[in-house]
Amino acid sequence: MFKGAAYIVVGNLVSKLAGFGREVAFAGWFGTGPIAAGFRIAQTAYLLPAQALVGDSLGAGLLPLYREMLARDKDAARMLVLIAAGYAALLSALLSIGLFVFADDIVRFLVPGAGPKVWGIATELLVILSFATPAFLIGGMLSYLETSYGKFGAIAWRPLLLNIGSLAGAALAYWTGSYHWLATAILASHLIFVTWTVLEVRRLGGLRPQRRLARDEVVAIGGRFIRNALSLLSLPLIVQSTLVVERIISSHLGTSVIASVDYARFLADTTVQLIAMPLGVMTMASHGGQRSAAIDSHVAQVAVVAMVLATPVAALMLAYPEQVTRAIFARGAFDEHSVQVTAALVRYMGGAVFVSVTGYYLIKALNAQLRNREALIVMAAASLSSIAVNTLLWRVLGVATMGVAVASYSLVSFAGAVWRLGLWRELRLPIGALAACLLLNLAVAGLVRQLHGSLAQLVVGIVATALICGAVTLGVPRLRVTFWGPMIHNVQQRLARRRA
């Protein structure tokens, strides 16, 4: 299990380095101006339904059920894949047509305050991206399926391929002066990836059943898949409505805010994808469809590891948001105004990764146990809290509203998942200790910010954060045993072998 998780982590790390380069280059070339805003709007309109369906409905609906069927009847499992692929193809075709035909209306609905120039750019890019929806949906579904064979190449390297495509598109758009390359390169990346995943799944186990299944068998298999995924089909309307509201509000606060939200979200989401995603996928692949005390213990231990890994990142972005933003993005077209707007969002979005990372993992743990309805309820409550913050407080909090809303979503999803999994008793001590770590680091940051120079403040802040978080994890027995224990045990074993 942990070998597979490590493989995904390496793939995510390499892809995130490419993504980091893409975001830094994009910020320098386009800043937070109309092209940057138009591209982010088109991405949102294209990804909202597709991302929800791949990440939750198809992934959670297919993977545990496929693993269960594969152990009993390979032909039934293959038929399940064909049914799921047919569902994805039909759904993606409908989405593509809708995005293509109603591109202008969708853009104006998402960002009513953006203005004609941004609307025009976003509409043209969305028309191009609409053709990528089938490849996005089917490729994403098959990459999850590959993990059932103990292979993690597609899910590990998919982000790298897409990031390279995005970076190439941004470079071509900047050098040629044609922003259409931003969408065209993404379309090409998805076509390459879906071709790879189809060939890989065919090589591993094939897509066609070896025997002819009776009609009743096919209907029963399709019914199980639909019932398993059905509880999550409302996610595009419930969870992704959070991002719709976010875009609408950000457009009223200014064009620069639209792009700044995505720069800040990139920093927060990177932490989630590097830590929580591989852990969640591995739990779904190795414990899919199972429920027992041993699995509950496993989930609790992995959740503690996720919290420990996320805490230093959260502490740094909570205490030093302007310094982090300036060091990463402040060059070229990314001016002082862009720095201040993005930093206001980084403080809350980044500071919340302490709970967003663990909450993401625990939601996947619910999916792995086929408790999709409970996961839906938790995510719906989190979405409602975010929508409430955005709609009720944006006139009061201004730019920071979107950051506070993301933090609200993360906190509610984390608390709800802990409650439904019954893990409060096991996690309350680690939660308290790591929350104290965040507060202590925030207090120390008040002294560090007295230093002259943003870079000096950031360097000293990183050292202080590492020392504080390291001291807390070593000083609290539960954290020391869960996080450091396995590493210490491995070192002791290696030393013993050398002595022998």
Q: How confident is the model at residue 1 (pLDDT cuts 50, 70, 90)?
A: very low
Tell me the angle at which helices 153-176 and 181-204 cross, rounded to the nearest 10 degrees: 160
Report pLDDT digits (tens) over 373-404. Answer: 888 889 889 999 999 999 999 999 999 999 99
Provide CB contacts within 8 A for 213, sequence distance 6+. Answer: 75, 76, 79, 221
Out of 287-296, 323-332, 348-357, least confident range: 287-296
pLDDT of 135 higher than 90: no
Token output for 85: 């692929």
**Residue 223: other Cβ atoms inside 10 A:** 11
Distance between CA atoms of residues 40 and 247, nearest Å: 10
pLDDT of residue 493: 67
Q: Which residues neighbour 296 within 8 Å (Cβ) at sequence distance 6 or greater?
A: 421, 422, 423
Q: What is the pLDDT of residues 6-34, one digit of tens each?
A: 556 676 677 778 888 889 999 999 999 99
- φ, ψ dihedrals at 79, nearest 5°: -65, -35
pLDDT score of 229 more than 80: no
pLDDT band per the 50, 70, 90 thresholds, residue 288: low
Give CA–CA dist 441/465, Å, rounded.
Answer: 6
Give the per-residue pLDDT at 282: 67
Average pLDDT, the chain: 83
pLDDT at 302: 85
Residue 4 has pLDDT above 60, yes or no: no
- Average pLDDT on 477-495 reads 70
- What pLDDT score was predicted for residue 370? 74
Give the containing element (helix H, strand E) for 302.
helix 293-319
- Distance (Å) of CA 266 to CA 42, 346, 368, 473: 16, 10, 26, 27
More confident residue, 480 or 116: 116
Q: Could you give the CA distance from residue 444 to residue 466 in angstroms, rounded to a whole number?
A: 12
CB-based contact 98:316 (threshold 8 Å): no
Average pLDDT rounded to a whole number, residues 127-145 = 83
Q: What is the pLDDT of residues 161-205, one digit of tens each?
A: 888 899 999 999 999 999 999 999 999 999 998 888 888 777 766
pLDDT reading at 3 higher than 60: no
For the residues of 150-206, what is the DSSP string, one character each?
A: T--HHHHHHHHHHHHHHHHHHHHHHHHS-TTHHHHHHHHHHHHHHHHHHHHHHHHT-
313-342 burial, b if ≥16 CB within 10 A, otherwise e?
Answer: bbbbbbbbbbbbbbebbbeebbeeebbebb
Gap between the Cα atoms of 88 and 12, Å rounded: 25
Q: What is the pLDDT of residue 448?
A: 92
Report the share of the chain in percent with pLDDT over 90.
41
HSE at residue 296, side-chain half, CA atoms within 13 A, is: 14
